[in-house]
Amino acid sequence: MGQQENEQLNRITITGAALSRATIAIAELGIADLIHAGQPQLVEDLAKTSKTHEPTLYRVLRFLASHGIFQECENRRFDHTPLSEALRTDTPGSFRAGAQMFHRLWAGWDGMEHSLRTGEPGFNKTFGAPVFDYIQTHPELGPIFDAGMTSFNCYETDAMLEAYDFAGISVLADIGGGNGSLISAVLTRYPSMKGILFDLGHVIGRAKERLKAAGLDGRCMTMEGSFFQSIPAGADTYLFRHIIHDWTDSQCKQILDNCRKVIPDNGKLLVADCVVPAASGPCASKDMDMVMLIFPGGQERTEAQFRSLLKASGFELNSITPTATAICVVEARPA
């Protein structure tokens, strides 16, 4: 093995971890909020305001700047780049909440070897509980998780609405819809549509305020429950965004079987997830598959895997609509 290979592995094994940890720590501390684009700030002032150790803050910001996160200017001043500006709390589509979420859950990656040996989620080994159970038993994480997932998914929503035509749907049920950001966007775009938001009780409690603030509480019913036990009837289209990829095939069959019991014969099932391409090479869906492996224990699937999974619960894959993001809208119909 030559120097080039060693240097590349060094960047992967050491620099990659350091870059991730530095980014989420800086996001947690709110450093990006202290800088306005075009107004470079002295690291001394940044350290005083953030109550951090100035020499260390400088080294971390210098490191991040070398990777395009912040820009180092003369006299130990730092300005924004597009990447660092996305860590500001007030930036539209801010990524700060997502970084803060992983700041708290990052140790789940320590379970990678456990996953390789057992096939189980590494998170469970590190934290002693499945990720969603852990969040439920730590109420302070709920709002952070909601905000984090919104920061991950907010840009996907517009892409979905541009790529997939929701016209003609009378009642859309967003199953496992979290804080209601997706159903709110769809109902706003399609004013004649009604909605059902279904999730666990502690999640629905947080979602009701969002729907009310958006003026949609009269058009969107909220219902509490577990999709492993039952799914509410009353919709002609059932939407699962980033739900199916959280679970194993057997768990997905439970969910989809429950959906098949209530979906009308002319209804539609929509699964918004990554679809892993058959070709080799890097892609975002394969990156996300590692997150699914370690945290909830699910997986991103290929078209063939989706087709097989859907067939097992009485659905037929009808179409796959790509979006401008990594996710696709997989449409299925009752077989």
Task: Tell me which residues are annotated as active site.
Answer: 245
Neighbours of 8 (CB within 10 A): 10
Round to whole Å and give the CA distance between 267 and 296.
29
**245, 300 in Cβ contact below 8 A?**
yes
Residue 175 pairs with which residues in a beta bridge? 198
Contact yes or no for 254/228 (Cβ under 8 A)? yes
Contact 197, 222 (CB under 8 A): yes
Alpha carbon 36 to its chain's center = 27
- Measured from the Cβ of residue 306, the count of other Cβ atoms closer than 10 Å reads 22
